[in-house]
Amino acid sequence: MSRGRVGDRVSGIRERIGRAATRSGRRPEDVLLVAVSKMQPIELLIEAREAGITVFGENYLQEAEGKIALLPDADWHFIGKLQGNKVKKAVSLFTCIQTVDSVRIAGEVSRRAVEAGTVVPVLIEVNLGCEWSKAGVDPAALPGMVEAVSGLPGLALRGLMAIPPAARDPDESRPHFARLRALLCEARRKAGGGERMTELSMGMSDDFETAIEEGATMVRIGTALFGDRAGRRP
């Protein structure tokens, strides 16, 4: 990609986010753009940073560590599969962990955050019924998990995250986005005065406008900003 392309794409995406937010009765600044930079070269991240991107999303700890060292003034969200033995490192590197998917992992985040003297904002990843992916908490188990997790020290439960099943058309994902929003309302009640539990991380390159119309407060956008990724991983 030639220099400057990422900057143009950032403005194009921001306009589309703004219009979708307005359609859903919100302000453009109510939707956070998380630039998903996994498997993208650092040059493109620097371009994005210069174009005003403040938050990056990464899936792999080792890859992220090098990039974070080069762009330490940005916010970094972890959006990959979190293994128990990597939690300490994730807590030290990331400003938010979006993919907490078990009480065990939440407990480990809590323990490591307390050890480090910090409080980590987290989202619970929900499995909205995608057969191909086992990531995320079953919606039926969500209320119990929220109850177990919301009182933990060192961890601030801020909301929910999901990747709906693959779809050909963004409108196919709409009911999944609506469902995640309903689950958030229910979870907030469970958390007991969880007024800070407001985040809905949903929507990617192909469906972020639909997600915003259904209430997304964070969209995670990779290829629409950076182009195709260098390689594929499971």
Q: How far apart (Å, rounded) are the C-alpha atoms in residues 11 and 71?
A: 21
Of 6, 13, 32, 79, which lies in the binding site for ligand PLP, with binding defined by CB under 6 A? Answer: 79
Residue with tokens 């439960």: 157
Would you say 178 and 170 are in contact if contact means Cβ atoms under 8 Å apart?
no
Contact of 149 with 189, CB cutoff 8 Å = no
Interaction residues for ligand PLP, span 36-65 (CB under 6 A) = 36, 38, 59
Shortest separation between residue 164's beta carbon and ligand PLP, angstroms: 11
Q: Does 17 participate in binding ligand PLP (rule CB under 6 A)?
A: no
CA–CA separation, 120 vs 110, rounded Å?
8
136 binds ligand PLP (CB under 6 A): no
Length of the chain, in residues: 234
Take residue 116 and report the two structure tokens written for it. Answer: 């480090």
Closer residue to ligand PLP, CB minimum distance, 130 or 156: 130
Please select the residue that binds ligand PLP; options are 113, 163, 200, 216, rule is CB under 6 A: 163
Q: Which stretch binds ligand PLP (CB under 6 A): 48-56, 145-153, 174-182, 222-230?
A: 222-230
Scanning 5-13, 16-24, 142-150, 215-223 for contacts with ligand PLP by CB under 6 A, the matching segment is 215-223
**219: contact with ligand PLP by CB under 6 A:** no
Which member of 24, 92, 95, 205 binds ligand PLP (CB under 6 A)? 205
CA distance 76 to 150: 22
| Residue among 110, 112, 142 nearest 126 (CA) | 142
Q: Report which residue's Cβ sits closest to ligand PLP.
A: 222
For 94, the 3-state DSSP assignment is coil
Q: Does 74 bind ligand PLP (CB under 6 A)?
A: no
Is 223 among the residues that bind ligand PLP (CB under 6 A)? yes
The stretches of 84-169 forming alpha helices (DSSP H) are: 87-93, 103-116, 142-149
CA atoms of 69 and 79, how far apart (whole Å) = 18
- By CB under 6 A, the count of residues binding ligand PLP is 12
Residues that bind ligand PLP (CB under 6 A): 36, 38, 59, 79, 163, 204-205, 220-224
